[in-house]
Chains A and B, each alone.
Chain A
Amino acid sequence: MGLLAKKKQRREAEIPTSSMADIAFLLLIFFLVTTTIDVDTGIGMTLPPELDENVEPPPVKERNSLKILINSAGQVLLEDLPSSVAQIRSEVQTHVQNQGQDPRYSESPRKALVSIKTDRQTPYNMYIATLDEVWMAYFEIWDNEARGMGFLNYHEYRASLESGDENVIREKWPAQISLAEPDTGE
C-alpha cells in the first residue's frame, strides 16, 4: 500500500510545452494577416459649424479674401481671372504674405482668407488638387518660418512642441480656408 501511494505521488502531471511555440505562431500569423499597418493619410479640414439663419456671417473685406472658383468643367477662376491649378500656390502665398502692401491682396496674414467655391458638377479630383495647392502654399510658408527659428522644417517644429505649448507659427500664419456655402437656389 505504502509503496503504491508513493509511486503515484511522484508521477507529476505535466502539460507538454513543446507545441506552445507552434500555437503562438498560428495566432501570430493570424494577427499578422489581419493587421493593416498603412496609416490613413488625407487632407484634414474642420468644417464650420452650422450657421444660424438669422445671424449674418461676419463680413470679410473684399481685399482680404482670395476667391478661387472651380466650374463644372474643372476650370479654375482665380480672382475672376482664368488660370491653372499650378498658379494657385504662388498666388495664395503672395496673398497671405502681402502684409498690406499691394491693395489687391490681404491686409495681414491673420486677416487673409482663401475661399474655394465649387459647382455641383465640379470633378472631385479638381477640388482636391486645388485644396492641396492651397495647403501646400501654407505648408511652405510654415516651413520657411520654422527654418527661421532654427528647425529643419515645420514638421520638426510641430514635433518639438509639448502638448500645452502654443503653435507660434500657426498663430502667426493661420490657414483660413473657407469652403463656400453652396448656392441653395437653382
Chain B
Amino acid sequence: MGHFTKKSKAKPEISTASLPDIIFMLLIFFMVTTVLREQEVQVRTILPQAEALTKIEQKRYVSYIWAGPEKLRGNRFGETRVQIDDAVIEDMTNIRNIMYRKLTEEPRLIVSLRVDETSEMGVVTDVKQELRKGGTLRINYSAKRDISGL
C-alpha cells in the first residue's frame, strides 16, 4: 500500500527542453519546401478537367502563362487576355522575347499554360506559336483531375 502512495506522489512530466528543436525541425522543413506565392493573377482561370495527368515535380523550373477573361471590378469579366508574371500582355509578339530570356536563365524551363476552359483555341494557338519562336518547347496544359467522372 505504501508503495502506491509513493508512486502517485511523483508527478510524471514530459520534458519540454527539446520542444524548440522539434519546432525548428518542422520550420526548416517548411522553409525548404516553400515556394513563395507568386504574382496576383489578373485573369480568371478555371482549369479544364482531364484524366491523363502528369505531375510537375520540379516547381522551380515552371513558368506560368495565364490566359482567360480579364477580371474587372464588380465581379465582371472582360476580353480574353494573356498574362505572364505580373503583366497583361498587350502585344503577343513580346511573348517570344520574354520566354527566350527565361529560357536562357533556366534551360530546363517548363511552361505551364493555365488557360480558362471557356477560352477559344485562337489565343492558345497564338501563344503556342510564340513559344515555338522563343524556343520554349516543353509545355504543360494545366488541368485538374476529373472528380465527377470517376
Contacts and interface: CB of A to CB of B under 8 A. Distances in A.
Interface stretch (A19-27, A58-66, A96-104, A145-153): A19-27
Given A24-B27, A43-B140, A123-B117, 6 more contacts: A21-B19, A28-B27, A39-B55, A41-B145, A120-B120, A132-B52
Contacts of A54: none
DSSP majority for the A interface?
Answer: mixed
Interface string B97-135: 000000000000010110111111110110011011101
B37 A136 contact: no
Size bin of chain B's contact surface: 35 or more
Interface string A131-143: 1100110110000
B92 interface: no
A164 to B, nearest CB: 18
B51 interface: yes
A40 B59 contact: yes
Contact of A132 (B50, B56, B59): B50
Nearest to B124: A124
A20 B23 CA distance: 10
Contacts of A179: 128
5 contacts: A42-B142, A44-B140, A120-B121, A124-B118, A128-B143
Nearest to B57: A39
A35 interface: yes
Interface stretch (A1-9, A45-53, A106-114): A45-53
A124 B120 CA distance: 5
A136 B50 CA distance: 10
B30 interface: yes
Interface of B: 16, 19-20, 23-24, 26-27, 30-31, 33-37, 48, 50-57, 59, 62, 110, 112-113, 115-122, 124-125, 128-129, 131-133, 135, 137-145
DSSP majority for the B interface?
Answer: mixed
A125 B117 contact: yes
Given A21-B20, A28-B23, A35-B33, A49 B121 contact: no
B139 A44 contact: yes
Interface of A: 17, 20-21, 24-25, 27-28, 31-32, 34-37, 39-50, 118-125, 127-129, 131-132, 135-136, 138-139, 179, 182
B54 to A, nearest CB: 5
A129 B50 CA distance: 7
A41 B53 CA distance: 6
Contact of B121 (A43, A50, A118): A118
Contacts of A47: 128, 131-132, 137-139
B51 A124 contact: no
Nearest to B136: A47
A24 B132 contact: no
Contact of A49 (B52, B120, B132, B144): B132
A41 B54 contact: yes
B141 A45 contact: yes
B20 A182 contact: no
Nearest to B24: A24
